Amino acid sequence: MDSISNDLIVILQFLLPGFVAAWIFYSLTSYSKPSQFERVIQALIFTLFIQALVSIVEFVLLKIGNHWSIGQWSESSPVIASIIIAIIFGIAFSNFANNDKIHKLLRNKGITRETSFPSEWFGSFLNNVTFVVLHFKDERRLYGWPIEWPSESSSGHFVIADPSWLDEQGQELRITGVNNILVNVQDVKWVEFLEKTWEKENG
């Protein structure tokens, strides 16, 4: 029984950097968290990369230590190094997932047609920074600037700044005394992204 507990602790210590990287990734992106089994698989994949980087860091530091001593590589050093690398790893992957730069490069090379965003919904809001019109299921239309929006189309809320209702002629009916309005995404039928005419006017 003690042997099983010790083995379990060793396995958890081995997977810990991967879990840290995965936790940071899902905390900083809009990707929905997968099942527990998939999380373990992802943690294992992250851990393999992290452990490889730890080995490289250890090799480089020991080589540097032959000429210039900056400290001692002890038994706890790999654990500390793996956690630091896991944090950097998680932040780096979150950045790549949020800015689409790697996938954009791969699309230009014809390797993929996918984006790094979790859905077309999320990518549309991220790439179209402009005023929107929310079309409600009851045929009402709300115009304003989206401060926040749901990560997926099935749940969450919009936060619309400077909201106005639009009448049948498209004229704005200002909602007086309201700075922001919270809208349930389930009440919205579709979203219009308006042309950036305000940029042309300012230019």
Q: Which one of 6-10, 162-166, 196-200 scores highest in mean pLDDT? A: 162-166
Domain range list for the chain:
2-108, 127-202
> Whole-model pTM?
0.70
**What pLDDT, on a 0 to 100 scale, did the predictor assign at position 193?**
92
173 DSSP β-pair partners: 165
Q: Taking 90 as the threshold, does the pLDDT of residue 125 lie above it?
A: no
Confidence of residue 187 (pLDDT cuts 50, 70, 90): very high
Tokens of 54: 């730890």
Residue 115 has pLDDT above 90, yes or no: no
pLDDT given for residue 4 in this prediction: 60
Question: Any idea what DSSP says for residue 186?
Answer: G
Q: What is the dotted CATH code of the domain comprising 127-202?
A: 2.30.30.100
Beta-carbon count within 10 A of 178 CB: 13
Residue 162 in tokens: 């400077």
CA 26 to chain CA centroid, nearest Å: 6
